[in-house]
Chain A
Amino acid sequence: MARKIIVDPVTRIEGHLRIEASLNGNEISEAYSSGTLFRGIELILNGRAPEDAGLFAQRICGVCTYAHYETATWAVENALGIHPPKNARIARNILKGAQMVQDHLIHFYQLAGLDWVDIVSALKADTKKTMDLAYAYTKTPYNASLARFEEVKTRLANFVKSGQLGPFAGGYWGNPSYKLPPEGNLLIASHYLDNLNVLRIPAQIIAILGAKDPHPQTCVVGGISSIADIINPQRMDDILFRIGKITDFVNNAYIPDLLTAAEFYKEEAVQGIGGGLKNYLSYGAFPMTDDENPDDYFLMRGVIFDRDFSKVHNLNEKNITEFVTHSWYKYPDEKAGLNPSAGITDPDYTGLNKDGSLKEDGKYSWIKSPRYENKAMEVGPLARTLVAYAKGNQTIKSLVDYVLKTSGLPVTALFSTLGRTAARGIEAKYVADALETWTLELIKNAAVDRSSWTKYDMPSKEIMGIGLDEAPRGSLGHWVRIKNKRITHYQIVVPTTWNASPRDGFNNPGAYEASLVGVKLANPSQPLEILRTVHSFDPCLACAVHLIDPKTNEIKKFKVC
């Protein structure tokens, strides 16, 4: 009989996630993903001023905080039919770009890094060989010298000796699934430590234009509030200076480290471990024109079915539906899905089995199951990269080809846990490289055009808007209805709802569930491989479980359409 393992809490993610997997021998035959926290932000938004939507919605998540802020503002602007002036559009792109790069950096090193890198093994590294490895994929490696590696090694040793491993304590060190040689571990561990300082830099860029990070306050409906900073050359120089530091780190640490990891984990990618779903979706983001035309987005919009690169389908948001067959909600017809603009959220918590495990045949998660044309989709950096690649985006294509060629992998290797991780790095470079261009464009424009806000009138009649955007971890959509200058309906479908969704009405598994099937555990009491694959999606559960629920014991119907 298949054995079942439960991983709860899944750590080094944002929010509360549980994974249950059935093991056949040491291979996962089936997996279930469940969001275990519920807050209810959509209901809280009802009756509020539309101008406040962004400030409320951004509290859904403290990680991709700016993404929600911008998407909510877009939704309200879409309802009003206005576009922000050029200064505001570019400033928002810089804010979001900085956030995206930061998110990818924290993901690769702090959140997912420990699934690939064995900190304890780094103590055995030969520093001379580490130097060779550091120069393998770049001519100017970041903070690499014999003295530095020696120092990191000694310090890590002291750290371990003192018995104060802190967050490193109790990890799965020594698990045979760690494939890097000690030198590779030392190299990436050293950059793990460097990154603690680098991380702060994109956050500072957000703070310059947006007051603070997390939870900036600047992206007002119709524009941006920090015009005094935009027209201040000193503040803009502060940004440019910091962008230089970021690109240095991305080019000389992140990308080379990624290639190092690819070299040693190649086999996994070739086997397609963690590939999962075959459909990819991207809403696209970063408007490049003042009319915010989605066709010209910097991150491209499109849908790919069945890994067929020859045809990228156009996105039609009407085809997005949400199922609740296996989620703790009720629909009149549980087999059918509903479009978020007419979404119903009628909670129906059915609990867990007596032994505390999930009721896998019934309802088992606070997350709904969004589907596109009734198909489960993967969203995120891999989906975005694939869409851009298939659409022939030259910059993305050359970056992808470079990574594949250097590590000697076929294109199909992208459909794997490693491929997903690589796509994130490629995207980080793509966005980081653009930040400087955008900032220079902003400085140039602000010299002649000082507008930062589009005036609008909030009508009393009912209006409705959609904000489709890309958060660092995938496609993010906000649906809003406004009447009498108050919000009457708010629905959010976040990236992790797509990726972490439970099965739908047709019993199609969500992206996490599909990607875990076939993953082999070297040691079933140490769920390292599960973490590696789930982390490659960069889970963000606080986002996924923001939907509404009524007070204790009182099941309240909530239906707006």
Chain B
Amino acid sequence: MDNGNDNRSKENKPGFKWDPLRFIAKNPDETLKKVDGRLDKLEKECFGDKKDKNSNLKNIFDVYGVTRRDFLKWTAFLTSALMLPYVFKPRVARAANILTRTPFIWLDMADCMGNTEAFIRTAHPTPAEIILNYVSVNYMESIMAPAGYQAETRRTETVKKYKGKYILVVEGAIPTGMNGKFLTIGAKGGTGLEIAKETAKNAGVIIAVGNCASYGGIPAAEPNPTSAVGLSSVTNRRVINIPACPANPVNVVGTLVEYILIGKAPQIDGLGRPLWAYSGRLHDNCYRRGHFEAGEYVRHWGDDGAKKQYCLYMMGCKGPFTWNNCTTAEYNQDISFPMRAGHGCIGCSQPAFWDRMTPFEKPNADAKIIIPGIEATVDEFGVGLLGVAGAGIAAHAIYTGVKKNKNKENRKDKEKKESKKTAPKNGSDDSK
């Protein structure tokens, strides 16, 4: 298997526009042939014979009560989530089959296990959880039966036996303070830092799950007591980041499937995130967006606007500054996502959101961040450019909404006075 270790390729440089038709745009027949050849080769490596290949997924799914229909639905879902043409559907199924035989190590660093929990109990959709969690996991502290020596051995053996082939998933930030001694694992007291470095060195593909593993997350929030960092800061290997708190499992499985299909890590943006999942901005895909345009806002928790599901911009929603697919993929089997439950987005798929997006429940002009233009993708601004001024959304808000509302307000009672105070007057209004 290709180790996907090329450093950030040119298409990921700022200014590059993502093409959803990526690898089949130029020569579809040729590409399909290549993908098929690759799948054939991997299938040969992973499965003993044809019978083994054909019965593998069925056996696994039967144990967990997943029907063939569920699986077909899932492959269709994933194919479209990956923005691949329909001809890829059977190939996605084959890739999933291969994935179950690919050795897998899941490392827990300075984490809360929230991402694991998300996989175990809430992932969308079912086959993804099973493929990830219950089949190919060689080392995962949270669910594996052995402990202590037996558990450690499983890890070191997997590293040795499947050098350059295993998938490494890391959850949690890496504490680097005090030579990494804020986290020790194993009878010899090896540090999390050492283990992460060592395991990353020989991995086939490396995925950082959740904001902590991607960018340091909450342990790295000011004043970062343990000098925690994201995984990409401690290894020179390429890391695919799947941020959010917790990460949506579908984004992890999709990334793995694409890796199996094309043998390369998928295209990522300047923040290391796969573009198929993270190219859309929450604000643009939010079902409350219409109310934003109409200037209809929630102004207090539980007010009339809250009951009518108005826009949460004034309650501090960070959807305008956050790139992810929460609004379309949703959490807990299509049940909900933050805006649907009447609480603004907190920007959990952006780096350093604990510092840049707080206070979470205050509108943006009050927050410490400054706003990018309205239809931009993160790369058009370049990495970290969330800090560059732009009239952007706040200005937009004035013209479409706030102003209109303010006029209304003048006629309304004093209860609304308070929200007026928090309404941004213009784009550069940065009161604190």
Query: In the complex where A38-B183, A62-B246, A217-B346 touch, is A51 in contact with B361 (Cβ < 8 A)?
Result: yes
Residues of A within 8 A of B116 (CB): 62
Is A240 at the interface (CB under 8 A from chain B)? no
Report which B residues bind A (CB closer than 8 A): 52, 56, 59-60, 62-65, 100-101, 108, 110-118, 120-122, 126, 129, 133-138, 140-154, 173, 175-179, 181-189, 192, 217-219, 221-228, 245-246, 300-303, 306-309, 315, 331-333, 335-344, 346, 354, 358-362
| Chain A residue nearest to B48 in the complex (CB) | A162
Which residues of chain A are near B173, meaning CB under 8 Å?
A: 39
Q: Is the CB of B341 within 8 A of A216?
A: yes
Query: In the complex, A328→B284 CA distance in Å?
Result: 48
In contact, B222 and A44 (Cβ under 8 angstroms): yes
B332 close to A171 (CB less than 8 A): no
A106 touches B145 (CB 8 A): no
Given contacts A9-B186, A200-B333, contact A531 B147 (CB under 8 A): yes
Partner of A52, one of B145, B183, B303, B359: B359
Q: Among residues 394 to 447 in chain A, which have CB atoms less than 8 Å away from a CB atom of chain B?
A: none
A245 at the interface (CB under 8 A from B): no
Query: Contact: B148 with A52, CB < 8 Å?
Result: no
10 closest A-B pairs (Cβ-Cβ)?
A62-B114, A171-B145, A40-B225, A453-B302, A211-B341, A212-B331, A207-B332, A452-B302, A49-B359, A453-B301
Q: Does A199 reach chain B (CB closer than 8 Å)? A: yes
Residues of A within 8 Å of B226, CB to CB, are 38-40, 549, 551
List A residues 1-54 near B (Cβ within 8 Å): 6-16, 36-41, 43-44, 47-49, 51-52
Bound-state Cα–Cα, A196 to B341, Å: 25
B177 and A551 within 8 A (CB): yes
Q: Once bound together, how far apart are the Cα atoms of A39 and B311, in whole Å?
A: 35
Question: CB of A101 within 8 A of chain B?
Answer: no
A60 on the B face (CB < 8 A): yes
A residues near B153, Cβ cutoff 8 Å: 170
Determine whether the beta carbon of A227 is less than 8 Å from that of B145: no
Could you name 17 residue pairs across A and B whose Cβ atoms are closer than 8 Å?
Answer: A11-B151, A36-B183, A38-B183, A39-B218, A39-B226, A44-B223, A47-B222, A49-B361, A59-B114, A62-B111, A155-B62, A164-B136, A170-B153, A207-B332, A225-B301, A228-B342, A349-B178
- Please report which residues of chain A, range 197-234, place their CB below 8 angstroms from some CB of chain B when the two chains form the complex: 197, 199-200, 203-204, 206-218, 220, 222-229, 231
Task: Please tell me if the beta carbons of B341 and A225 are within 8 angstroms of each other in the complex.
Answer: yes
> In the complex, which of the residues A10, A12, A208, A218 has the most CB atoms of chain B within 10 Å of its own CB atom?
A12
The secondary structure that dominates the A interface is loop
Query: Number of A-B pairs whose CB atoms are under 8 Å?
Result: 336
Specify which chain B residues have a CB less than 8 angstroms from the CB of A168 in the assembled complex.
145
Closest B residue to A531 using CB positions: B147
Q: Are A10 and B183 in contact (CB under 8 A)?
A: no
Which residue of A63, A166, A206, A349 has the most chain B CB atoms within 10 A of its CB atom? A166
Residue of A nearest to B211 (CB): A59
Contacts of B306 in A (CB 8 A): 225, 227-228, 452
Would you call A451 an interface residue if the criterion is a C-beta within 8 Å of the partner chain's C-beta atoms? yes
A contact residues vs B (CB 8 Å cutoff): 6-16, 36-41, 43-44, 47-49, 51-52, 55-56, 59-63, 65, 85, 102, 106, 110-111, 114, 119, 151-152, 155-156, 158-159, 162, 164, 166-172, 193-194, 196-197, 199-200, 203-204, 206-218, 220, 222-229, 231, 349, 351-352, 356, 450-453, 455, 525-527, 531, 542, 548-553
B60, B134, B228, B332 — most chain A CB neighbours (10 Å): B332
Minimum CB–CB distance from A53 to chain B (whole Å) comes to 11
Could you tell me the distance in whole angstroms from the C-beta of B58 to the nearest C-beta in chain A?
9
Q: For residue B342, which residues in chain A have a CB less than 8 angstroms away from its CB? A: 218, 225-229
Among B121, B178, B187, B344, the most chain A Cβ lie within 10 Å of the Cβ of: B121
Contact B113 A550 (CB under 8 A): no
A43-B246 in contact given A59-B112, A214-B117 (Cβ < 8 Å): no
Q: A52-B358, A155-B59, A166-B136 are in contact. Are A114 and B145 (CB under 8 A)?
A: yes
Distance in angstroms from A111 CB to nearest chain B CB is 8
Find out whether the CB atom of B359 lies under 8 angstroms from the CB atom of A229: no
Q: Which residue of A lies closest to B223 (CB)?
A: A43
Question: Inside 8 A of A55's CB, which chain B residues have their CB?
Answer: 346, 360
Q: Tell me how far the C-beta of A183 lies from the nearest C-beta in chain B, rounded to whole angstroms.
A: 19
Chain B residues with CB under 8 Å of A218's CB are 341-343
User: How many Å from the CB of A300 to the closest CB on chain B?
Assistant: 28
| Given A16-B183, A65-B112, A453-B302, residue A207 in contact with residue B362 (CB < 8 A) | no
In Å, the complex CA distance between A227 and B302 comes to: 6
Question: Which residues on the A side are within 8 Å of B308 (C-beta)?
Answer: 228
